[in-house]
Amino acid sequence: MPFELSSHLSAQATRVETVLDHLLDENRTEGEIERPQRLLKAMRHAVLGGGKRLRPVLMMETAALFGRTDDGVVVAGAALECIHCYSLVHDDLPAMDDDDLRRGQPTVHKAFDEATAILAGDALLTLAFDVIGDERVHRDAGKRLALSRELSRASGIGGMAGGQMLDLESEHRTRSEPEIRTLQAMKTGALLRYACRAGAVLGDAPDADVDRLTRFGEVIGLAFQLADDLLDVEADPAAMGKATGKDAAAGKATLVGLMGAENTRQELDRLLSEANDLLVPYAERAGILIALARFIVQRKN
Amino acid sequence: MPFELSSHLSAQATRVETVLDHLLDENRTEGEIERPQRLLKAMRHAVLGGGKRLRPVLMMETAALFGRTDDGVVVAGAALECIHCYSLVHDDLPAMDDDDLRRGQPTVHKAFDEATAILAGDALLTLAFDVIGDERVHRDAGKRLALSRELSRASGIGGMAGGQMLDLESEHRTRSEPEIRTLQAMKTGALLRYACRAGAVLGDAPDADVDRLTRFGEVIGLAFQLADDLLDVEADPAAMGKATGKDAAAGKATLVGLMGAENTRQELDRLLSEANDLLVPYAERAGILIALARFIVQRKN
């Protein structure tokens, strides 16, 4: 990735982190609201421990296609990141994927304890629905409400949480390729799709463009998961900052396992090409989104 | 409780259950959304296993003071009940209060497993923020968004989840009376306060009435917790449908423990009298709310 692009993306990620840091500021009080320090620290551990901020940055770059680059979009991105981080905290729990490391650091239940991790996840999930309604997100309360409800649907039983349920069940049953695709569209696809769709809504894009960017988000979501599966098979744990080869060890079928690595790479190429085609109408304004799509396909960690 | 009142409240609870049943209908599909059956069943177990529906009914009766008795208020009440039920599922987990029984039935992690219980709680919490935004709740999207954000605040780190964190920490430290009051105002008070406040907002009550009903909710919340503490000390497990004497066994200080049962009963009387005073302006229209307040103070399970 060219240095200029890489610094732009890192500056965008920093904008997201600044909002998250402020939301979870240990010295800030909101009126008379008490915020238990242990819970706040666990939430900060979950949210401020690094990460690419891919979902908020996708949202911000999509909104930028339509001229919105102000902090309101960053606030919406922070809400989405709260959802993503809550899901990591709960997925890492002993009763779920039982992971001790995340981005090379102890997971929340390791750094604190299980009860605190459950509550930190709950509180982050809950917080997201306050943050997405912030006045800065969009001047129209109706649009903010629509974004809030769509965030709920992307995250709930018909989206991310439902996908995680299907994924857990995969340890006990054989899945067909279409079933795995549905599972992944829910578990990881729904939030990436939302990121791009919400970005277009935030930018007051016409309906046809909202649909186009929604499809872009779906393509990116599928590519992300395929690239992730390839990494799980091929990468080493040190580069990933977490355990690898877990899917195979858990007896879970993956698309890479069913299709083979070579076919997976070909599908990734096709998806990257579809992603590029979808962005043609935005010409050079879409340069960063195209680079992001390429990064998702080719990433090494 | 007089038979007529009791049947009215039970009819109101049934209205809430009808909405919840429909939201989690196993045969309903929303467009192409997949809803994993195991997760859906666990959510139904959490939500449809009985319960007094106190929070939604408080909301509905408060809205009725201002003339709103339509199904939109029931939908808002169902959203609140989703939050309440999610909190029970997560509080019952082994890493939290470790309870095997709830309303005389196996808790969700007993009837299913821990991972499913965590996800069912997550999905119910998430669902609440879709449901509270339903068009039927209020014609004004801005009011629906405000109700959604207030629900988030009542449920999150500054409310219910934060209170549960403080409560868990109480096993390891001595709490003063003001600290216990803060803890309880967050853990159980915040949702009861929200129920009454939101009911007034749904009824388009003038600001002064919203404030008055918010205070009514705070008084009810405190009375509810004191009555609960008394029951924990005095009731038998069969009547409660769950374990009793748990606070003492866990070494947790309670207000009853600090103040004694007699002083607690006197404070309950004072709270009931304040609740009644707050409802004076609504004359006979407030009869049901007054009866509900008395029920909360005098309940035996």
Check pLDDT > 90 for residue A234.
no
> Which of B118, B142, B166 comes nearest A95 by C-beta?
B118
Chain B residue numbers touching A126 (CB-CB < 8 A): 125, 152, 155-157, 161
User: What pLDDT does B51 receive?
Assistant: 85
Residue A239, pLDDT > 60, answer no
Which residue shows structure tokens 């649009």? Answer: A143
What are the helix and strand counts (H, E) for chain A?
A: 16, 2
Q: Per the CB < 8 Å rule, is A36 touching B116?
A: no
pLDDT for position A3: 83
Question: Which positions in chain B touch A123 (Cβ < 8 Å)?
Answer: 156-157, 161-162
Across chain A, what does the average pLDDT equal?
A: 92
Name the pLDDT band for B298 (thresholds 50, 70, 90). Answer: confident
pLDDT band at B242 (very low <50, low <70, confident <90, very high): low
Question: How far apart are the C-alpha atoms of B1 and B8, rounded to whole Å?
Answer: 11
Domain extents in chain A: 3-298
CB contact under 8 A, A130 and B149: yes
Q: Which range (A88-97, B234-243, B292-301) has the least confidence?
A: B234-243
Give the one of B90, B118, B156 whose C-beta lies nearest to A130's C-beta: B156
- Written as one string, the DSSP assignment of B86-118 is HHHHHHTSTTTT--SEETTEE-HHHHS-HHHHH
Structure confidence at residue B32 as a pLDDT band (50, 70, 90) = low
Strand partners, A101: A106
Q: pLDDT tens across B100-127, in order?
A: 999 899 999 999 999 999 999 999 999 9
Task: State ipTM.
Answer: 0.95
CB-based burial of residue A3 (10 Å sphere; 0-12 exposed, 13-18 middle, 19+ buried)? exposed
Arithmetic mean of pLDDT over chain B: 92
Give the mean model confidence (pLDDT) for residues A98-112.
Answer: 95
Fold assignment, B3-298: Farnesyl Diphosphate Synthase (1.10.600)
Would the pLDDT of A237 be above 60? no
CA–CA dist B58, B27 (Å, integer)? 30
% of chain A at pLDDT higher than 90: 79
Asked if the C-beta of A96 comes within 8 angstroms of chain B's C-beta atoms, the answer is yes
> What are the tens digits of pLDDT across the range B129-140?
999 999 999 999
A95 touches chain B (CB under 8 A): yes
Say how far apart CA A84 and CA A82 lie, in whole Å. 6
Of residues B238 and B3, which shows the higher confidence score? B3
Q: How far is A105 from chain B (nearest CA, A)?
A: 22
pLDDT tens, position by position, A161-190:
999 999 999 887 889 999 999 999 999 999
Query: Which string of DSSP letters, residue by residue, matches B11-56?
Result: HHHHHHHHHHHHHT-TT---TT----HHHHHHHHHHHSS----HHH
pLDDT at A31 over 70: no
Mean pLDDT to the nearest integer, B36-48: 97
- Under a CB-based contact definition with an 8 Å cutoff, are residues A151 and A145 in contact? no
| pLDDT at residue A242 greater than cutoff 70 | no
